[in-house]
């Protein structure tokens, strides 16, 4: 079993957190999401460029 990276990018004592306070009230958000809007919401996804051959990582199905 491989060990985790010895260094996870920048040092953890740095502040790596960004955040946003939602300006809308909970009631406004709930009112926004009508059944129609929920049904029409599009999946947001990341698809990287397809390689010529499949990824040769070694994910395994058990």
Least Å distance, CB 20 to other proteins, is: 4
Does 6 interact with other proteins (rule: CB under 8 A)?
no
**Total residues in contact with other proteins, by rule CB under 8 A:** 49
Residue 22 and residue 29 in contact, taking contact as beta carbons nearer than 8 Å: yes
Dist CA 9 CA 44 (whole Å): 26
The helix/strand/coil state of 50 is coil
13 DSSP assignment:
T
Nearest approach, Cβ of residue 15 and other proteins (Å): 8
| Contacts to other proteins by CB under 8 A | 1-5, 8-10, 12, 15-24, 26, 29-30, 32-33, 35, 37-51, 54-62
């Amino acid at each position: 079993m491989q060990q985790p990276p010895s260094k996870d990018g920048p040092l953890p004592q740095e502040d790596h957190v960004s955040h946003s306070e939602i300006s809308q009230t909970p009631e406004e958000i709930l009112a926004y999401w009508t059944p129609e809007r929920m049904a029409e919401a599009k999946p947001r996804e990341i698809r990287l460029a397809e390689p010529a051959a499949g990824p040769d990582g070694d994910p395994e199905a058990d």
